[in-house]
Amino acid sequence: MAATTHTPAKHDEDLPGHYGPYGGRFVPEALTSALDELDAAFRAAIVDPAFAAELAELERTYTGRPSPLTPAARFGELCGGARVYLKREDLNHTGSHKINNVLGQALLTRRMGKSRVIAETGAGQHGVAAATAAALLGLECTVYMGEEDTRRQALNVARMRLLGAEVIPVTVGSRTLKDAINEAMRDWVTTVDRTHYLLGTVTGPAPFPELVRHFHSVIGREAREQMLADAGRLPDAVAACVGGGSNAIGIFSGFLDDPSVRLHGYEAGGEGIETGRHASRFSTGAPGVLHGARTYVMQDEWGQTVPSHSISAGLDYPGVGPEHAWLHDTGRVAYEPVNDAEAMDAFAALCRTEGIIPAIESAHALAGAIRLGRELGPAGLILVSLSGRGDKDVETAARWFGIDLSTSPDGTDPR
Ligand X SMILES: Cc1ncc(COP(=O)(O)O)c(C=O)c1O
Nearer to other proteins, 100 or 295 (CB): 295
Size of the site for ligand X (CB under 6 A): 21
Single residue of 71, 81, 173, 414 touching other proteins by CB under 8 A: 173
Which positions from 309 to 348 touch ligand X by CB under 6 A, shown as an x/- string?
Answer: -----xx---------------------------------
CB 412 to other proteins: min, Å: 41
Partner interacting with residue 193 (select from ligand X, other proteins, none; CB below 5-8 Å by kind): other proteins
Beta strands 18-19 and 116-121: pairing type? unpaired
- Strands of the sheet containing 116-121, edge to edge, are 166-170, 140-146, 116-121, 195-197
- CA–CA separation, 198 vs 200, rounded Å? 6
Number of neighbouring beta carbons within 10 Å of residue 273:
14
CB 410 to ligand X: min, Å: 31
CA-based nearest residue to 79, from 346, 272, 330: 346
CA-based nearest residue to 97, from 362, 284, 324, 351: 362
Partner interacting with residue 362 (select from other proteins, ligand X, none; CB below 5-8 Å by kind): ligand X
Nearer to ligand X, 92 or 305 (CB): 92
Single residue of 58, 108, 117, 242 touching ligand X by CB under 6 A: 242
Interaction of residue 388 with ligand X, rule CB under 6 A: yes
CA-based nearest residue to 159, from 83, 247, 93, 107: 93
Single residue of 114, 178, 328, 364 touching other proteins by CB under 8 A: 178
Nearer to ligand X, 337 or 388 (CB): 388
Would you call 120 a catalytic residue per the annotation? yes
Q: What is the dihedral of CA 80, 227, 329, 344, to 10 degrees?
A: 50
* DSSP conformation letters of 106-138: HHHHHHTT--EEEEEESSSHHHHHHHHHHHHHT
Would you call 387 a catalytic residue per the annotation? yes
- CA–CA separation, 82 vs 70, rounded Å? 14
- CA–CA separation, 153 vs 56, rounded Å? 31
Interaction of residue 267 with ligand X, rule CB under 6 A: no
Stretch of 48-56, 75-83, 160-168, 235-243 contacting ligand X, by CB under 6 A: 235-243
Single residue of 17, 245, 254, 368 touching ligand X by CB under 6 A: 245
Provide the β-strand partners of residue 88: 386
CA-based nearest residue to 388, from 177, 124, 57: 124
Nearer to ligand X, 222 or 376 (CB): 222
Q: Is residue 143 a contact partner of residue 123, using CB atoms and an 8 Å limit?
A: no
Burial class (CB in 10 A: 0-12, 13-18, 19+), 53: exposed
Name the amino acid, one letter, at 359.
A
CB 200 to ligand X: min, Å: 7
CB 244 to ligand X: min, Å: 4
Partner interacting with residue 207 (select from other proteins, ligand X, none; CB below 5-8 Å by kind): none
Site for other proteins, rule CB under 8 A: 24-30, 32-34, 172-173, 178-179, 181-182, 185-186, 189-190, 192-193, 286, 288-292, 297, 299, 301-305
Residue positions annotated with a catalytic role: 98, 120, 387
Task: Catalog residues that contact ligand X under the rule CB under 6 A.
Answer: 96, 122-123, 125-126, 201, 241-248, 314-315, 359, 361-362, 387-388
